[in-house]
Chain A
Amino acid sequence: MRLDQPKYKTSDEVDFLIIGSGAAGGILAKELSTNGFRVVVLEQGPYLTESDFTHDEIKIFQEDLLTNHPKLQPNTFRKTPDEKAKQQRALAYGRLVGGTSVHFTANFWRFHEIDFVERSKVGPVPGAGLADWPITYADLEPYYTKVEWEIGVSGLAGASPFDPPRSKPYPMPPLPVKSSGVIFERAARKLGLHPFPAPMAILSQPRPGRSACVNCGFCLGFGCEVGAKSSSLATAIRVAERTGRCEIRPNSYVHRIEMDSKGRVSGAVYFDEQKNTHLQKAKAVVVCANGAETPRLLLLSANKQFPNGLANSSGYVGKYLMLNSAAVVFGLFDEPLNEYKGFAVSRVLHDFYELDPQKVGFYGGGGLDARFDQTPIQFASGGLPPGTPSWGKEFKTALSHNYTRTMEIFCHGTSLPVEQNSFSLDPDLKDAWGLPALRMTYRDHPDDLKLAAWQRDRALELLDAAGAQKKWAQPISEQEFAFHLLGTCRMGYDPKTSVINSEHRTHDVKNLFLCDGSSLVTSGRGQPTMTIEALAFRAADRITALARRGDLGA
């Protein structure tokens, strides 16, 4: 259901125009409208609600009900800048009100202290542009707590000895343990490791207007019909609407941010559903369009003053893309786990969060989780052990035996920031609106691949310790597909080497702010959304303070 909202005229200069309604945009909309400002949120995707969601895998994964559509918004890919990019789907993100938070796994670890100070702690890493953040874990801690309490995160404080300090426990207990979690926990303890209940942005207890998780099993990739997944749609956006000051305008595809003669942004031009263009005027603009679309929009908004892209005097808009290193192993067990019931992850371990480069021979770290996130069709297409026939009687027999007895260990880890890894505008390919398509350039830093292989080996050891009947790993190869879209408008002190400052204000334009995965300076160890949301809460505080003291350059 949608609540009544104000309808602002495009000629009405609202206080804030927010572009994107996902993890960051939703929270900024809530905070800024709650603080008394008049806000318009332009979202390129539709406004769907719980009753529109479905367990139809084809609608979700083939028809892209919730995600960017490769036909409407095709993109290109290349490994290095000297290659000609080929058309190839290279990224998926949520394209609807609520953004990717609608369909995410909801793994909600905080970043640790190390993630903010890696450069000064470990020194330079060859081939990487590692940098410290202009903020520390301590600066962000109150906002992590805010995320946990305001949007709803289930977890157990103090369960991991590696957790950074926290000011408050979780607002609700962890979700129930799955068979994969029990197997993982027992094996890990046998090996002297420290597994703990996964912090998840999924409700273990009901909240007003939202059900606790009913363990339907269609979680990763799907929107939650009962509002248990703590998406921006189920949380922040509803609050923003209730203020009566925030208009969420769906099907509004922004393709240009306008600038006035004084060097301030004055609004944004967008296509509505019928492809008519409009200019929404605003006193300030906050771009939360994700780590791919935010840099694209800045590049599309090049003007006389900024010929290389709006707010891109540094030349770093779109660069230092990080996807997070990943490895997946599978284990087959004797008895049914029935992993298809419930959310994806119930146990995690962080023993490998800070590895010693001298000992392992590469820089990085990570976290392992026990999970199962495959829908029936996905499982039949790729969940059986290598060498199993892919059709016929043996295939069917394996499918009917294994589906209930298989689990995964997912190894998440660092991506080092590499300057040439980037999103840019493709010189040839256009989308269905005639706009230059995204071009992704990506080749993992060699240490990221070493880390993935190292963690894969630890995960296989865990499955051995667990007494798996069979275990296997997905081959590790250079990544060509992006889910996590990080680092492409990085935060920093120096306008020459970063795009935004610690208040999320662009160094170049006083009333233009960016907040989403693009703001991250390092990749953490694989679960960015929690940090993106904490940054959004913090950004909202800073932007509010600037606006209240009249410091938006008006």
Chain B
Amino acid sequence: MKDALTRRRFLLHSLSGVSAAWVTSHWPAALAAAEHAHAAARSATPPKFEFFTPEQAAEIDAITARIIPTDETPGAREAGVVYFIDRALKTFASDYQKNFNEGLPELQGLVHEMYPNVDRFSTATPDQQDDVLRSLDQKNATAKRPFRPRPEAQNFFDTLRLFTIQGFLIDPDSDKGGSRDGVGWKVIGREREHMFQPPFGYYDKDYPGWQPLSKDAEKR
């Protein structure tokens, strides 16, 4: 409900500069759409995993918890990233199912290779887990890390990394799940609101306003 309220507050605030006629004609539709999205998001929150088995989910949860670890602030685990990935693989990211189906056994193979006494990734120590992921990352060292326009995963480690980032930082008011309680945005310092007033930051708060250059200082 908090999500819906945040969204509603955004819509309400954002409409403040709009004519009354516009509000009357747009408001019910805009509100209905927002409410619908949130009702859908709430009801679709997976009570159980849809793609992963509980065992697989435990492994994925352990991996994401090393990519964005929990320390003095929340990490991927608190953001519910494993639920985000599970749902993604059944919906908008179904193309990546194969990637997970093949990548997870390979990762476990790597765990056995590096630590023969360890049963599976999730039961390794955090240091061991990091070593395994580092090894997996280096295996893929040639992979490109594109900057723009859209980050695209190139291999299993990149896929895990990208999905973890997405599940941690997606707009908490989106209908994708993830970013539970907005913890990702809290960690990076992004306020949950969707409307802001200047001053925005430290450097513009004492800006005196635009001052034209004196004529003689101009070059042309």
The answer to whether A and B assemble together is: yes
Our pick among B14, B148, B164, B220 for the contact of A161 (Cβ within 8 Å) is B220
* B1 contacts across to A, CB distance below 8 A: none
Whole-angstrom distance between the Cβ of B105 and the nearest chain A Cβ? 21
Alpha-carbon separation in the docked complex, A176 to B196 (Å): 11
For B180-220 the 0/1 string (1 means CB < 8 A from A) is 00001101111000111110111110010010110000111
* B116 contacts across to A, CB distance below 8 A: none
Alpha-carbon separation in the docked complex, A192 to B213 (Å): 10
Instruction: State whether the Cβ of A337 lies closer than 8 Å to any Cβ in chain B.
Output: yes
* A242 contacts across to B, CB distance below 8 A: none
Given contacts A194-B219, A215-B198, contact A391 B203 (CB under 8 A): no
Which of the 9-residue segments A31-39, A46-54, A105-113, A360-368 touches chain B? A46-54
User: In the complex, are the beta carbons of B204 and A376 less than 8 A apart?
Assistant: no
Whole-angstrom distance between the Cβ of A134 and the nearest chain B Cβ? 28
State how many residues of chain B have any CB contact under 8 Å with chain A.
72
User: In the complex, are the beta carbons of A400 and B189 less than 8 A apart?
Assistant: yes
How many interface residues does chain A have, given as a range? 35 or more
Judged by DSSP, the binding face of B is loop
For A206-223 the 0/1 string (1 means CB < 8 A from B) is 101111101111100000
Find the B residue at minimum CB distance from A382: B147
User: In the complex, are the beta carbons of B149 and A61 less than 8 A apart?
Assistant: yes
User: In the complex, are the beta carbons of B18 and A378 less than 8 A apart?
Assistant: no
* A342 contacts across to B, CB distance below 8 A: 196, 198, 200
Instruction: State whether the Cβ of A340 lies closer than 8 Å to any Cβ in chain B.
Output: yes
Whole-angstrom distance between the Cβ of A14 and the nearest chain B Cβ? 28
User: Which chain B residues numbered 46 to 98 have a C-beta less than 8 Å away from chain A?
Assistant: 66-69, 71, 73, 75, 92-93
Given contacts A215-B197, A396-B68, A399-B187, contact A377 B166 (CB under 8 A): yes
Candidate in A50, A211, A226, A227 with the most chain B CB atoms within 10 angstroms: A226
Alpha-carbon separation in the docked complex, A75 to B68 (Å): 35
Instruction: State whether the Cβ of A277 lies closer than 8 Å to any Cβ in chain B.
Output: no
Our pick among B18, B29, B92 for the contact of A206 (Cβ within 8 Å) is B18
For B155-195 the 0/1 string (1 means CB < 8 A from A) is 00000011011101111011110000000110111100011
* B194 contacts across to A, CB distance below 8 A: 55, 214, 216-218
Alpha-carbon separation in the docked complex, A159 to B210 (Å): 9
Our pick among B33, B73, B220 for the contact of A400 (Cβ within 8 Å) is B73
Alpha-carbon separation in the docked complex, A129 to B75 (Å): 54
User: In the complex, are the beta carbons of B200 and A58 less than 8 A apart?
Assistant: no
Instruction: State whether the Cβ of B25 lies closer than 8 Å to any Cβ in chain A.
Output: yes
* B3 contacts across to A, CB distance below 8 A: none
User: In the complex, are the beta carbons of A174 and B196 less than 8 A apart?
Assistant: no
Whole-angstrom distance between the Cβ of B145 and the nearest chain A Cβ? 7
Find the B residue at minimum CB distance from A335: B202
Chain A positions within 8 Å of B, measured between CB atoms, are 1, 50-52, 54-59, 61-63, 92, 156, 158-159, 161-162, 174, 176-183, 189, 192, 194, 197, 206, 208-212, 214-218, 225-227, 333, 335-342, 351, 376-382, 390-393, 395-396, 399-400, 403-404, 474, 481, 483
21 A-B contact pairs sorted by A residue (CB < 8 Å): A55-B173, A55-B194, A62-B150, A177-B198, A177-B207, A209-B21, A216-B10, A216-B194, A218-B171, A225-B30, A226-B18, A337-B202, A351-B219, A376-B169, A379-B188, A380-B165, A380-B188, A381-B162, A381-B165, A400-B189, A474-B147
Q: A51-B34, A63-B92, A215-B198 are in contact. List 10 more A-B contacts (CB 8 A).
A: A55-B173, A58-B170, A211-B16, A214-B17, A216-B10, A225-B30, A226-B18, A335-B203, A392-B66, A396-B73
